[in-house]
Amino acid sequence: MRSHHGHHGNHSHDAADKVDSAMEGSREGMRTLWLSLTVLGLTAAAQAAVVTLSGSVALLGDTVHNAADALTALPLGLAFALGRRAPTRRYTYGYGRAEDLAGIAVVLVIAASSALAAYEAVDRLLHPRDVTHLWAVALAAAIGFIGNEWVARYRIATGRRIGSAALVADGLHARTDGFTSLAVLLGAVGVALGWRAADPIIGLAITVAILAALRDAARHVYHRLMDAVDPHLIDHAEDALRTLDGVRGLGPVRMRWIGHALRAEADIVVDADLTVVQAHALAAKAEHALIHAVPRLIAATVHTDHTPTGADDPHGSLAHHIAV
């Protein structure tokens, strides 16, 4: 006979504290997004002015990508705002999955910006034009690198701290933008040395860099959509359960992200002679152990099975099969 014990914050303040932490993570994510939007918006505006002045297609590609990166704050901001809404009878787990949808939007924006950069670079190779005001192009490229690297560090650090794959993906996107800005600087040097094709060739190189960022971002988002978690989290959870007195074996331990918070399910094997109350108490201890052991885990459901008894069928109970 199997019993199911779902434990949430009513047994201790641990889960409630982690819910509060997840909410604070959403607020921190919002702050990061809006500050990033401001910095990248100003960077793109400065670069756009130089593009108009100089006609550099490499800088145009960098500018478009910076503007796209700034605009990705909008779907992510909407996702963080939705994620703070309380669960309903229809959305019983809340709205945290909105972050995964926002991650898809980020990937699509990166893909569109790479296509535009490629188009402009190829067009300039087929229809060469002079690039002027090279000193301004070089300065704009330096500004692009500084702005993007600052935003990348900020987004990645915040995303990892609050467990947001979408924000980390966006930070990696910004980091690639920074290196493409340095490529624009190299293109300006090449044109200054008399290599006219340097500007569109650098534009094509930027397209390749954007595609690399697209691959990394898509991988992060794919893992989250497929409910992938770091296997080390499962190891920590299993170690925590095995150390509990009264736990005779383990069955499957599962986790999934909902937004930037984790939820878990675990099967434990207990002595067959425990009362329902005793089994429930042990399941509660197991839930508390999981929440303490796994960062950003806010809720766990613990299922209990008993060890085989003489009255069990000759093939053994389900617990007998899952015990390790």
Confidence class of residue 318 from pLDDT cuts 50, 70 and 90?
A: very low
Task: Please state which of the ranges 135-139, 269-273, 298-302 shows the lowest mean pLDDT.
Answer: 135-139
Render pLDDT for 185-202 as a digit per residue (tens, 0 to 9).
Answer: 888 888 888 887 887 888
CA distance 61 to 84: 36
Burial pattern 228-265, b for ≥16 Cβ within 10 A else e, equals ebeeebbebbbebbeeeebbebbbebebebbbbbbbbb
CA distance 39 to 303: 49
Confidence class of residue 8 from pLDDT cuts 50, 70 and 90?
A: very low
Contact 233, 262 (CB under 8 A): yes
- Architecture in CATH of 229-322: 2-Layer Sandwich (3.30)
Which class in CATH covers the domain with range 13-225?
Answer: mainly alpha
Global pTM value = 0.68
pLDDT of residue 316: 42
pLDDT of residue 82: 85
The domain limits of the chain are: 13-225, 229-322
Q: DSSP string of 30-85?
A: HHHHHHHHHHHHHHHHHHHHHHHHH--HHHHHHHHHHHHHHHTHHHHHHHHHHHTS
pLDDT of residue 244: 94
